[in-house]
Amino acid sequence: MNTIYVINGPNLNLLGKRQPHIYGHETLEDVKNACIQVGLDNGLDVTFMQSNAEAQIIDWIHDARENATGIVINPAAFTHTSVAILDALNTFDHPIIEVHISNVHKREPFRHHSYVSGVASGVIAGFGTQGYVFAVQRMAQLLAAAATDRAS
Ligand code: DHK
C-alpha cells in the first residue's frame, strides 16, 4: 500500500477551539480519522502529523522522501512565509497537494500569497475540513495514474 503523509502546520492543533467561525468545529483528531478512513477506502496508508515548528515540518518532508509517495500539506501560517518549506518540498519527487480549510483568497491580503502553491499539483481552499478528504481522494487518483503510466 502507498503511504502518504498529511502534514499540518502551526495552530492547527487547536482546530475546533480556534476561531470556529473560520475553521469550523471539527477537531484535528476528527480530520485525522477522516483522512485515515478515506485513505483506507482508496488503498492509501495515511500518516497524519501536526507541528507548530517549521523545523519539524521540514524534517517530516525530508523523511517523506524515503517513506512516502505523496504529501498533503496544510502549512497554515507558514504557507505565506516559508521559503524553507518550499525548498524542502522541492526535494520531494512525488505529488504534493496543498490544503487550506478557509478560503484564503477571501481573507487578509497577506494570506493571498502561498510559497507552496508553485510546487503543488493542486490547491484546495475554502471547503472546510472536507478539503482534506478531497485531497486524499485526489492523491489516490494521482498515484494510480502514475502507476498506470509506469506500467505502460
Ligand atoms: C490556516 C492557518 O492557520 C492560516 O494561517 C492560513 C489556513 C489559512 C487554513 O485555512 O487552513 O492563512
Query: Which of 101, 108, 113 is the pocket-test mutation for ligand 1 (most atoms within 8 Å of CB)?
Result: 101
What is the pLDDT at residue 101?
Answer: 98
CA of 152 to the centre of ligand 1 (A): 40
Query: Which of 104, 123, 129 is the pocket-test mutation for ligand 1 (most atoms within 8 Å of CB)?
Result: 104
Axis crossing angle, helix 130-151 with helix 28-41, rounded to the nearest 10: 30
What is the pLDDT at residue 1?
Answer: 79
Measured distance CA(74)–CA(45) in Å, rounded: 18
Coil, strand or helix at 71: strand
- The pTM (predicted TM-score) of the whole model is 0.97
Measured distance CA(87)–CA(146) in Å, rounded: 23
What is the pLDDT at residue 26?
Answer: 97
Whether domain 2-151 has CATH 3.30.70.20:
no
Residue 105 makes CB contacts below 8 A (sequence gap 6+) with 111, 112, 125, 126
Given a contact cutoff of 8 angstroms between Cβ atoms, the answer to whether 4 and 99 are in contact is no
CA of 1 to the centre of ligand 1 (A): 30
Domains in the chain: boundaries: 2-151
What is the pLDDT at residue 152?
Answer: 87
Given a contact cutoff of 8 angstroms between Cβ atoms, the answer to whether 5 and 60 are in contact is yes
List the pLDDT tens digit at each of the 152 positions of the chain. 799 999 999 999 999 999 999 999 999 999 999 999 999 999 999 999 999 999 999 999 999 999 999 999 999 999 999 999 999 999 999 999 999 999 999 999 999 999 999 999 999 999 999 999 999 999 999 999 999 999 98
Residues in the chain: 152
